[in-house]
Amino acid sequence: MTSLRGDGNVEFRFYRPGVEHVDVAGDFNGWRGSSLSMRPQGDGWWVAETPLPPGEYRFRYLADGRWFTDFAAHGVELGPGGWNAVLVVPRGRATNNQNTASSMLTIQ
């Protein structure tokens, strides 16, 4: 699940009970999972935030070395390594000196 927070950051939420480490990897961080690690929130939920300018991005979750796709994102598309989730950060309102948009929500 992704959402745009009021402070201009994109929040990633992922449900995967029983795993020990989760990262978000995408074209916005060179597909390096280690650059956006998620924090456990309890009951199997993981969360991470990052600022992203308006645009269209591809991403996946990497949990204990296994890739997972957010099929409820703004779309999915087949990439070289499997299905990538599509995240759209639309233009709209200004927060944190960036043009970002009102809330968006997808469900994992």
In sequence order, which residues have a C-beta less than 8 Å from that of residue 65 and are 6 or more positions away?
none
54-91 burial, b at 16+ Cβ within 10 Å, e below that, comes to eeebbbbbbbeeeebbbeebbebeeeeeeebbbbebee
Q: How far apart, in whole angstroms, are the C-alpha atoms of residue 52 and residue 4?
A: 9
Query: pLDDT tens digits, residue range 55-75?
Result: 999 999 999 999 999 997 889
Q: Which domains does the chain have, with CATH numbers?
A: 2-100 (2.60.40.10)
| Contact indicator for 3, 103 with CB cutoff of 8 Å | yes
Q: The pTM is what?
A: 0.81
Question: How many CB atoms within 10 Å of residue 10?
Answer: 21
Enclosing H/E stretch for 60: strand 55-63
| Contact indicator for 52, 22 with CB cutoff of 8 Å | no
Q: How far apart, in whole angstroms, are the C-alpha atoms of residue 71 and residue 104?
A: 15
pLDDT in tens, the chain (108 residues): 899 887 879 999 999 999 999 999 999 999 998 899 999 999 999 999 999 999 999 999 999 999 999 997 889 999 988 999 999 998 874 444 333 333 333 333
